[in-house]
Copies of this chain bind each other. A is one copy, B any other.
Amino acid sequence: MKEIKIGLIGTGFMGKAHAIAFNAAPSVFELPAKPVCELLADVNLSMAKSRASAWGFSRATDDWRALVADSDVDVVDICSPNFLHKEMALAAIAAGKHVYAEKPLALSAADADEMVAAAERAGVKTLVGFNYIRNSATQLAREIVLSGEIGELIHFRGRHNEDYLLDPQKPNDWHTLRATAGAGALGDVGSHILNMAEFLTGQRITSVCGQLQTVIPMRPKADGSGMAQVENDDQAQAMLRFSDGLIGNIETSRVAAGRKMGLAYTLTGTKGAIVFDQERMSELQLYRHEGPNGRRGFTTLLTGPEHPDYAAFSPAPGHGLGYNDQKIIEVRDLIEGIVNDRPLYPDFREAARVNYLIDAIEKSDQAGQWVTV
């Protein structure tokens, strides 16, 4: 069987999730090629070696540029902090590699544009890891919307709230500094719900009206030498206008007490509605405005083999997908897209949309008025 050799940069949380997915994907799906864990890079060589051994990578390096240049690497998989995405991706593209990168694509729309242009010139495949759109329930939501089953969409409400920075004693790290993170909550978790807003509705967001707030303005420096300023938003919200008349809003936060994986959306149409919460990632609430009044209500659909990509994990409904399963689906898409030379979603061009939206929301916040995207 054909092989696709992976060079993975980063051994953190996301690097591990990718590694699990590469290892598991071939037994879950019938893939047209086998992803092979070829080379793993981390600035810390001993970490790179130990993770390479554990995760089934043949080789390890502390030099990501060597990885990018390695002739045995087909895909460069970027799981480093946000501010490194651009440099690494441009290098990988320059080396003719396909690029699989974590979200958000870039720190700004301008950077994103540069990355899109490079990738398209080079003709390499790109994929950005907005993994939550792979969840079977969310794919189902999109399917229901696009089929017209709930009529014409009239309202979208989305949020991605977590509380990982609620503790004011958590030190400033790359997440809270403009140069390393770009936007704050909006860029980190907010990017998921912005991408999902367009994914779910099949429409473009055409204008936004946003509001950002830094709730905890100073945090301890990471080195313990006093306090430093938080340079980006802890929470943000925006109202949205979409291309086909739909309106909506989004919220995002990294200080939303109680929310652990608070990605949630409500899609309201002229004939029904969908409600979803990622904290219950294997169920979708579906309302259809039909049948006798006394029998109308939201139906809890547990994902099952009739729903997108579920059957590969289990033939029985209600058995539940987990976080890493979303990455396994993403890897399936990556491999199929490369082997069959098919478009990937979201590629750099599509992922750049999220950067456009973030920039527009920030601009709108400063202007105090609506901004066209």
Contacts and interface: CB of A to CB of B under 8 A. Distances in A.
Interface of A: 1, 13, 16-17, 19-20, 23-24, 26-28, 30, 53-56, 140, 150-151, 154-155, 157, 162-164, 166, 209, 211, 213, 215, 235, 237-239, 241, 247, 249, 251, 253, 255-262, 268-273, 275, 278-283, 286-287, 289, 292-302, 304, 306-307, 313-325, 368-370
Contacts of A27: 16, 19-20, 23-24, 54-56
Contacts of A261: 302, 316-320
A316 B370 contact: no
Given A23-B24, A154-B255, A313-B324, A247 B237 contact: yes
A368 B371 CA distance: 9
A1 B235 CA distance: 46
Contact of A320 (B237, B257, B281, B299): B281
A164 B316 contact: yes
Nearest to A314: B323
Given A235-B155, A323-B319, A302 B260 contact: yes
Contacts of A262: 318
Nearest to A294: B306
A17 B272 contact: no
A317 B293 contact: yes
Given A26-B23, A235-B154, A256-B155, A301 B306 contact: no
